[in-house]
C-alpha cells in the first residue's frame, strides 16, 4: 500500500468514529449541541414600583421641562405641577431636544376630567415618534369618533385592535415598541416604520407597518429624514397632561 492510500485509510478510520459519535449525539438528543453561550445579554435592572429600567433615558420625571423645547426650538412653556406636565393654552406642541431612533417608550397621559364636546374634541393630543408618526391621544371612553382617530390608533392609518380607554380624568399609559424607517441613498424606503403599542397594558397595535408620516388630509407618504429625530407631544387646544415619560434606545438585532 502506497503512502497516499495509507493516508486515505487512516483519515477514514479517524472520521468514521467521529461521524458516528456526532450521529449518536443527535439521535440521543444531546442538548449541548444546540446551546449558545455567547454573546451573553447585558444586565438591565427593571424599575421597581413604576420606576424606569436602569438603562432608560428619563425624558420627564415630573420636576421640570429640562430637555424639552417648543416645536420651533424656543423654550417649552407647558405647565409643570404635581409631577405632571400639562398643555398650556396657545403655547404650541413641544418636543425633546434629543433625537431618537428605534426605541421602547413608556408614557402616561390624562385627558381633562370635565368633558367638553364629543368626537375629536375632548382630550385631543398626540404622541409623535420621530416628530411625524402619531399615536393618537383622545378621550375615547364612551365617545364615538372615526375608528382610525380614536385613542390607541396610529392616526388615520391603523385602527386599534380594541378600545382599552379609561374614563376622563384618569391616568392612562402607552407602552410602545418603535422601529424607525430606513431610507436608501436615493431617498426610497428600504424598511417602513413599525409600531407595537400597549394601551393600559392591553395590546392595541401589533407590529403594524406605517404607510408614511401622519397627515390629516390625503394619503400618508414617506419623506427621507435622519436616523434620530425628536419625540413630540401635541398641543391640540385641550389641557392634556403627561407624566412618567422614559425611553430605552434599542439596537437592531
Instruction: Please report the DSSP string for 134-150 in residue order.
Output: EEEE---SS----GGGS
User: Quick one: pLDDT at residue 9?
Assistant: 43
Residue 85 CA to residue 65 CA, distance in Å, equals: 8
In 3D space, the residue among 144, 142, 124 whose CA is nearest the CA of residue 134 turns out to be 124
Instruction: Report the Cα–Cα distance between both ends of the chain, in Å, rounded.
Output: 55
Task: Answer yes or no: are the C-beta atoms of 250 and 100 closer than 8 Å.
Answer: no
Helix (H) or strand (E) holding 225: none
User: Quick one: pLDDT at residue 6?
Assistant: 47
- The three-class DSSP label of residue 6 is helix
Helix (H) or strand (E) holding 175: strand 172-179
In 3D space, the residue among 131, 177, 126 whose CA is nearest the CA of residue 153 turns out to be 126
Residue 29 CA to residue 104 CA, distance in Å, equals: 38
Residue 47 CA to residue 83 CA, distance in Å, equals: 18
User: Quick one: pLDDT at residue 251?
Assistant: 84
User: Quick one: pLDDT at residue 8?
Assistant: 47
User: Quick one: pLDDT at residue 71?
Assistant: 85
- The three-class DSSP label of residue 4 is helix
pTM: 0.87
Residue 152 CA to residue 205 CA, distance in Å, equals: 8
- What number of helices (H) and strands (E) belong to the chain? 1, 15
Handedness of CA 137, 56, 98, 92 (dihedral sign): positive
Delimit the domains of the chain by residue range: 3-34, 57-249
- CATH topology for the 57-249 domain: Jelly Rolls (2.60.120)
- The three-class DSSP label of residue 208 is strand
Q: pLDDT 10s per residue in the chain (253 long)?
A: 565 564 544 444 444 455 666 665 666 778 888 899 999 999 999 988 889 999 999 999 999 999 999 988 999 999 999 999 999 988 999 999 999 999 999 999 999 999 989 999 999 999 999 999 999 999 999 999 999 999 999 999 999 999 999 999 999 999 999 999 999 999 999 999 999 999 999 999 999 999 999 999 999 999 999 999 999 999 999 999 999 999 999 987 6
Task: Answer yes or no: are the C-beta atoms of 71 and 94 closer than 8 Å.
Answer: yes
Amino acid at each position: 500500500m502506497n503512502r497516499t492510500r495509507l493516508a486515505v485509510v487512516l483519515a477514514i478510520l479517524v472520521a468514521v468514529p467521529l461521524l458516528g459519535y456526532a450521529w449518536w449525539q443527535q439521535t440521543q438528543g444531546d442538548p449541548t449541541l444546540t446551546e449558545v453561550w455567547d454573546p451573553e445579554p447585558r444586565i438591565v435592572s427593571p424599575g421597581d414600583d413604576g420606576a424606569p429600567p436602569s438603562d432608560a433615558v428619563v425624558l420627564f420625571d415630573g420636576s421640570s421641562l429640562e430637555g424639552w423645547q417648543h416645536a420651533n426650538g424656543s423654550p417649552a412653556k407647558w405647565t409643570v405641577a404635581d409631577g405632571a406636565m400639562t398643555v398650556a393654552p396657545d403655547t404650541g406642541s413641544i418636543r425633546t431636544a434629543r433625537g431618537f431612533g428605534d426605541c421602547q417608550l413608556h408614557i402616561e397621559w390624562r385627558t381633562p376630567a370635565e368633558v367638553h364636546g364629543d368626537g375629536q374634541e375632548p382630550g385631543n393630543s398626540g404622541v409623535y415618534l420621530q416628530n411625524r408618526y402619531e399615536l393618537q391621544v383622545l378621550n375615547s371612553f364612551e365617545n364615538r369618533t372615526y375608528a382610525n382617530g380614536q385613542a390607541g390608533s396610529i392616526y388615520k392609518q391603523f385602527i386599534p385592535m380594541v378600545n382599552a380607554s379609561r374614563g376622563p380624568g384618569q391616568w392612562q399609559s402607552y407602552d410602545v415598541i418603535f422601529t424607525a424607517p430606513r431610507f436608501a441613498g436615493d431617498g426610497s424606503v428600504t424598511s417602513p416604520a413599525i409600531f407595537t403599542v400597549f394601551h393600559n397594558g392591553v395590546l392595541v397595535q401589533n407590529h403594524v407597518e406605517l404607510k408614511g408620516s401622519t397627515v390629516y388630509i390625503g394619503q400618508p407618504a414617506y419623506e427621507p429624514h435622519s436616523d434620530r429625530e425628536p419625540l413630540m407631544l401635541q398641543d391640540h387646544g385641550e389641557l392634556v397632561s403627561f407624566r412618567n415619560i422614559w425611553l430605552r434606545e434599542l439596537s437592531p438585532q
